[in-house]
Structures are given as C-alpha cells and as structure tokens.
Amino acid sequence: MIRRWNAVLFGSLVVIAGAAISAPPASPQPATQVAADDFYIPPPPPPMPPGAILRTQPAALALSAPGQPGVVPAASTRMMYLSSDTHDAPTAVVATYLQPVVPWTGPGERPLVAYGVGSQGQGDQCAPSKVLPQLAQFRPPYDVIAEYDVIALASLLARGMAVVLTDYHGLGTPDVHDFLNRKAQAYAVLDSARAALQLPGTGLNPHSPVILFGYSQGGMASAGAAELQSSYAPELNVRGAYIGGPIVDPENFIGYNYGQPGVGSAAPFTLNGIAADYPETRPILDAEINDAGKGLMRDALDKCAIAASLDIQIRRITQITNSGEPLTALIDRSPALKAAFDEQRIGTIAPTMPVLIASAVNDEGTPYPPVRAVAAGWCAGGTPVQLDANPQLPAITGVVGTHDLAYFPSLMAAHSWMTDRLAGLPAPTNCGALP
C-alpha cells in the first residue's frame, strides 16, 4: 500500500521535473463514445463477463523517471471494463493500458504486466488514470498526488513490456474506493489483464503471458490476485507474481501505523471502505468512532493520501474511538467488524504460480513478520516462493523510510526474476529456509 505519503511528496518533486509527452492512442477506438467528463460515469452493468470492455478513449501520457534515458514513450489508452466487487456483484473499473514503442527482446512473445499501483488516496481525483497525464495534481491547501509508480512503469516499458494499471474499484468512479479490500483489488487487477488482452492492435492475445506486479498497496493487490487467479480467472496465462512490500493484514497494519507521520490515513481510508462494503458495520462505527474520527473519515473520502495523512498531523488527532481504546481493540470486540477485517487478510489460499515476495526485514511501514508468515503458509500449500528480506537495509524513519528505499533494489531483482519466468525456467524457492 503505502509508500510513506511524505516520501511521495518528496518523490513528486523529483518526478515532476520529467518532460511530458502526449502519446498517440493504442489502436482501439472507443467502444462507446462519451464526453470526456462523462467517461468515469459507468452505464448500467450489461450482461457481459468480467473483463469486458465498456468504453475506451485515447489518453495523454507523461512519463519520465530518474535513471531512464529520457522520456520513455508509450501509447496510452484509458478503458472502462467490467469487474466484480467484494461481494462478486458486477462493477465498472477504469484502467490505463500502456503500449511500449520499443520492441520486446526477451524470451517468447511480448508479455503483459498487470500492475497494482501503490496507495493513491480515496478522492476520485487521485485515480492513476487521471494523474498519469500530468504526473501530479494539486488542490489547495495541501492535497497533492504524484504518480510515483512512474519509476516502475518506465522501467517496464523501456524493456518492451506492455503494462495495464488499474485504478481499483471506486477510485475515479462513483463508488467508494474500498481501500485494502482483498477481493475487490484482486479482481480489478485480474480483470484489467482480461480487458487489455482484448484490445485490438496491441499484438497481445488471450494467451499472452501475464505477470502480476505491485508494491505496497499494489503488493497486496498482486498477492490477492495471485491467490484468486486459479478460481476467478483461470484462463489467464499468468507466469508469476511479484509482490513487493505488501500489506497482508489490514487490521494489523492500521494498528501498527495509526498516528505515524505519513501513514496514519490508512485508518480512515480503510474504515470508509469497510463501511461501504459491509452495511452491518455502519451502526457500530457510528456508535464507537468519536467526532474527530468521523470527521477524518468524512474528509478522507475526498482526499489523496498526502492530504489525508497531513490532516491527522495538523489536527493532532491521537484518538478516534469514544472509549479511548485502540482501533484494533474495537475491531476485535465487534464480531461484525472482526469478520469484515478478517476477510481482507492475505494468506488463506496458496497461489498456483511462482511468487517473488520482497519485504525488507526492517520495513517500518509494512511489518515483516506477517509477510513472512504468509510466505510460510504459501510454501506449505505448495507455492514456489522466493522471499527476499533485504536485511542490508537498516530501519529508517522520516521522509524516506525503509519501506520506500526497499522498493528500488526489489524492482531491480524483479526484472531478472520476471525474465526467467517468461523463459520458462524453474522458479527459485527458499521455502526450506525462509529468512
């Protein structure tokens, strides 16, 4: 999820310096013509399967990243497609498909990377498909969002990999973005791949190799997609999943991080999603969350990650329950809340594909022990797991913490690992001696 929000602000100052280009659209024409402002308003769900494309439009694209040889060109298409919500009801989600200009020179045919973005926020303006054309957006007094995933996107496109990145359920579209919802995120990622493989003129086909990829919130989305792919989208030719810095237990995560500079907004974002998806929890939250907490939740609905986190710091809010107990204690004593949060935990199903998990042992944002426990459970279920704990990185807090810094070496390791999976080489595993 969550590269620290203040680190995102720092990163935005670096990335925004990159040049912007307006890329031509990929070949497909819109399935349904709509005015630009109406693109994100979905039609009534048609009787079509998940992954069906509802509409497309060409999209501008601004991509530049440190360490890359200038601007990385790609053709960009915004598409709305059918997916499923956490209760398996049809819902519309938006994604951006990026067609690289450079050829794929790796093994086999050009692969598709189904990319789960890191935490963006809960306001519709935070949707990646809305931020990518400019790299950053700002709303006074301090609501800023920068598409920091541009670093990974640029590196993937520079190798000739096609990329599709989902906005996730409810981000940009009318529903509430159910932040850290295991099934909704996983479905959005898998259905974005289904949709991208249908786009004409891309050179892709329904049997093209697919890699699941994500860091932070995106790591959780990639992990959920890896768990659910065999039952939800078995036709996809998924060769492996890169799962970086994942949140694997949202209750543990918000309890661990509440009040911490840069990550405290996880609590109001997550509570808003739980309330939207599980109506039985609303009376409990209404009775148990204090006025300050309700204000944070209400305001978070329209904010990106940095602003929502700054709200907690500026208002000096240290407690959001009427009882004064920690939020996790409230969750644990409420059967409805506990059941809703337990549904979001990663680790209940062993993926059928190889996985590379990158989680720094000293990660101060997404704790390592729960991630290792997931890896151990997957190993026991027969999944070829390679767990990279990166012990060289010390525990660092502040503007750029260990969670942020661990992203860069894990990205480099992911490239060689993905190439080997696409070549059909045996997947490495350290299940016998997890770090």
Angle in degrees, 0-180, between the axes of helices 291-300 and 266-277, rounded to the nearest 10? 80
3-state secondary structure 73-122: CEEEEEEEEEEECCCCCEEEEEEEEEEECCCCCCCCCCCEEEEECCCCEC
Residue 259: the pLDDT is 60
User: Which of the four pLDDT bands, split at 50, 70 and 90, describes residue 191?
Assistant: very high
Distance CA 8, CA 11 (A): 5
Neighbours of 223 (CB within 10 A): 30
What are the residue boundaries of the structural domains of the chain, listed by start?
Answer: 5-249+344-433
Is the C-alpha dihedral spanning 155, 158, 159, 162 positive or negative?
A: positive
Residue 359: pLDDT band (50, 70, 90) is very high
264 vs 102, which has greater pLDDT? 102
Phi-psi region of 82 (alpha: psi -120 to 50; beta: other; left: phi over 0): beta
- Which tens digit of pLDDT belongs to each residue from 74-99? 889 999 999 999 999 999 999 999 99
Does residue 130 surpass a pLDDT of 50? yes
Tokens of 399: 């503007």
| pTM, rounded to two decimals | 0.88
Rg (CA), the chain: 20
Partners of 209 in the β-ladder: 237
Asked if pLDDT for residue 394 goes beyond 70, the answer is: yes
- Predicted confidence at residue 352, as pLDDT, reads 98
d(CA 148, CA 407): 11
H, E, C per residue of the chain: CCCCHHHHHHHHHHHCCCCCECCCCCCCCCCCCCCHHHCCCCCCCCCCCCCCEEEEEECCECCCCCCCCCCCCEEEEEEEEEEECCCCCEEEEEEEEEEECCCCCCCCCCCEEEEECCCCECCHHHCHHHHCCCCEEEECCCEEEECCCHHHHHHHHHCCCEEEEECCCCCCCCCCCCCCCHHHHHHHHHHHHHHHCCCCCCCCCCCCEEEEEEECHHHHHHHHHHHHHHHHCCCCEEEEEEEECCCCCHHHHHHHHCCCCCCCCHHHHHHHHHHHHCHHHHHHHHHHECHHHHHHHHHHCCCEHHHHHHHHHHHCCCCCECCCCCHHHHHHHCHHHHHHHHCCCCCCCCCCCCEEEECCCCCCCCCHHHHHHHHHHHHHCCCCEEEECCCCCCCCCCCCCHHHHCHHHHHHHHHHHHHHHHCCCCCCCCHHHCC
Instruction: pLDDT band for 261, please (50, 70, 90 cuts).
Output: low
Nearest to 131 by CA among 180, 165, 174: 165
Q: What is the pLDDT of residues 287-342, one digit of tens each?
A: 999 999 999 899 899 888 655 565 565 455 678 899 999 999 999 999 999 999 99
The answer on pLDDT for 432 being more than 70 is yes
Residue 412 is predicted with a pLDDT of 84
- What confidence score (pLDDT) does residue 18 get? 31
- Do 400 and 406 contact (CB within 8 A), yes or no? no
Q: What is the pLDDT of residue 275?
A: 98
- Tell me if 250 sits within 8 A of 268, measured CB to CB: no
145-178 pLDDT, tens per residue?
Answer: 556 678 889 899 999 999 999 999 999 999 999 9
Give pLDDT, residue 145.
52
Q: Is the dihedral of CA 340, 345, 350, 353 positive or negative?
A: positive
Q: What is the C-alpha separation between 248 and 384, in angstroms, rounded? A: 18
> Is the Cβ–Cβ distance between 161 and 111 less than 8 Å?
yes
* pLDDT tens digit sequence for 369-384: 999 999 999 999 999 9
Whether 18 contacts 71, CB under 8 Å:
yes
Instruction: Give the model confidence (pLDDT) of 227-260 as tens digits.
Output: 999 999 999 999 999 999 999 999 999 888 876 6
Mean pLDDT of the chain: 85
Contacts of 388 (CB under 8 A, 6+ apart): 356, 357, 358, 359, 410, 413, 435
> How much is the pLDDT for 74?
84
Query: How many C-alpha atoms does 259 have within 13 Å on its Cβ side?
Result: 9
- Averaged pLDDT, 117-125: 89
Domain covering 5-249+344-433, topology: Rossmann fold (3.40.50)
**CA 358/CA 371 separation, integer angstroms:** 9
Question: What pLDDT does 22 receive?
Answer: 29
Q: Token pair of 313, please?
A: 């710091």
User: Which residue in this structure is represented by tokens 């925004």?
Assistant: 16
| Confidence category of residue 387, pLDDT binned at 50, 70, 90 | very high
